[in-house]
Amino acid sequence: MAYRPAFPVAALAEHDPFRLAVLASWYERESPVRISEVTLATFLRRRLRAGGADHRPPMLGAIDGAEVLLCGSDRFERHRRSFLDELATALEEVPELHLLLVVRDDALGEALEPAGGLVQAPPAAYALEPLRPKAAREVVEAPLHRAGRPASGAEALVRELRTVRTGNGVQTTARVQPVLLQLAFGRLWERLSGESEISAARLRIEVDNALKDFCAHSLSTIAADHSLLATALCSWFRSVFGGPQGRAGVPAVRAYEDVPKAVVHALQDAHLIRARIGDGGLFYEILHPRLIEPVRQLGAGPVPIRRPGSSARLHQARRALADGDPELARRHAEAVVRGYGDDDLRGLAATTTFLGDIAYECGDAETAVARYRDAAAIFEAVPDNAAVGWLLTGIGRILLADDPGQAVRQLRAAAGRLPHELSIQTALGRALCQAGRTRAARAVFEDVLGRDGANREALIAKRALSGIA
């Protein structure tokens, strides 16, 4: 649900952000304008008809982060409920559609009821479990085999990742967390590339160090993102999750009292903890008991933060905005902008456009216009005529209420670049109407409706102009 097309959202007429996120992620090459204009069922039926086959194969759709859609939303509650209705209608009217909803464990209880309302039969639920030892060994053996290394190291690594050492002795877990396997194997691959064998003692040290570095880096990054002291967050995490309670589970109520709820969710997203619904409600526990030993070894001081590349960090920005944290989204996006060089003007322009989207969704029209202007100037240098046209459209739509004369100028410029886009013509008609030029506005609306008699925005605007509605 965090997916966003590289398109200025202000350029769209009133739209459902949930439909836009879902369909834009399913059909990345489709115009966001086309997506925003029709319901989900209508859009999917058109796609099926375009296929032209007598036998229509199943249409498989997945929505990751679906808790944003299934659970309550302070920002877009009306749109959320509307899109759930659209989704239910699509599942009924488009039998080829099979839907997979991916939700966090801590949202499962709240998500099941609305998910069940989408279809008549109860939805099937599947838990994504950690790897069994055999599967974990196979994951490691494949690259070892390709590199011509002995596969015996796979057995030792999996055994070490299943070994939990406590004051009461040594225990062996039944499963292996994939993220821990990836971290430990990646470190061993880098550090021991020239060695064919490794002792059990050294393997334990290397695995501990890999997991400790992972925890320290993740905690420092989360602290920076949420304006917390890294030392304080690290100390809290070590005291809460580095002992028996980390394995037994910490009540969510207590966790939320200690740190902001957004931080708890960030810890979960970083694969440090996981949610568990048990007797008495929601609990958070350490992701895997094998992490407890490295967590206890965490030092008191902060560690350098290794930020991901521009693409991954831009995804973090989009996720933050979807989660309702525009300030964190802005900080991530501005950091991405600072990291671009002169050789990636398109990336710079797209991220600057996203910064305009953030401002627009926060109601900061002045900043949104400024960001869109900056992005348009960069796209002009790319050059990308269509992108400039849509940015001018976004600026024009923002200015409709307060400066219709300037809106007309921006939208005329946009229409000159994209003369066949009816949504731009309709916006221009609205701007002309706002500027008191009703005759010109009527002519624009009639031209649009002559080409698309069902154009909703033009129909509404023309009725308003005629005093019918």
Tokens of 381: 């240098």
Closest C-alpha to 246, from 257, 233, 255, 256: 255
The amino acid at residue 114 is P
Backbone phi, psi, residue 96, to 5°: -70, -20
CA 224, CA 332: separation in Å to the nearest integer? 11
Residue ranges, comma separated, of all CATH 1.25.40.10 domains in the chain are 342-467
Q: Taking the CA of residue 90 as centre, how many other CA atoms within 13 Å lie in the half-sphere pointing to its CB?
A: 25
DSSP string for residues in 375-393: HHHHHHHTT-HHHHHHHHH
Which residue(s) pair with 99 in the sheet?
61
Strands 250-251 and 281-286 come out as: antiparallel
CA 40, CA 297: separation in Å to the nearest integer? 51
Per-residue pLDDT of the chain (469 residues; tens, 9 = 90+): 778 888 999 999 988 999 999 999 999 999 999 998 889 999 999 888 876 666 678 899 999 989 988 887 777 889 999 999 999 999 999 999 999 999 988 888 888 889 989 988 888 888 889 999 999 999 999 988 887 777 778 999 999 999 999 878 899 999 999 999 999 999 888 876 666 678 899 999 999 999 999 999 999 999 999 999 999 999 999 999 998 889 999 999 999 999 999 999 999 999 999 998 887 789 999 999 999 999 999 887 667 888 888 999 999 999 899 888 999 999 999 999 999 988 899 999 999 999 999 999 999 999 999 999 999 999 999 999 999 999 999 999 999 989 999 999 999 999 999 999 999 999 999 999 999 999 999 999 999 999 999 888 999 999 988 874 4
The architecture (CATH level 2) of 342-467 comes to Alpha Horseshoe (1.25)
Tokens of 272: 């440090």
Residue 264: its pLDDT value, please?
Answer: 94
Rg (CA), the chain: 26
Whether the bond between 32 and the residue before it is cis, its omega within 30 degrees of 0, is no
CA 45, CA 97: separation in Å to the nearest integer? 10
Q: What is the DSSP letter of 420?
A: T
Residue 194: its pLDDT value, please?
Answer: 61
CB within 8 A of 146, min separation 6: which ones? Answer: none
CA 444, CA 351: separation in Å to the nearest integer? 33
280: left (phi over 0), alpha (psi -120 to 50) or beta: left
CB within 8 A of 276, min separation 6: which ones? Answer: 105, 249, 282, 283, 284, 285
Report in angstroms the alpha-carbon separations of 292 from 8, 160, 180, 287, 455.
45, 14, 12, 9, 60
Residues 338 and 330 sit within 8 Å (Cβ to Cβ): no
DSSP string for residues in 340-379: --TT-HHHHHHHHHHHHHHHHHTT-HHHHHHHHHHHHHHH
Residues 326 and 358 sit within 8 Å (Cβ to Cβ): yes
Closest C-alpha to 40, from 116, 110, 118: 118
CA 21, CA 7: separation in Å to the nearest integer? 12
> pTM for this structure?
0.87
Cα 338 from chain centroid (whole Å): 21
295: left (phi over 0), alpha (psi -120 to 50) or beta: alpha
CA 77, CA 86: separation in Å to the nearest integer? 14
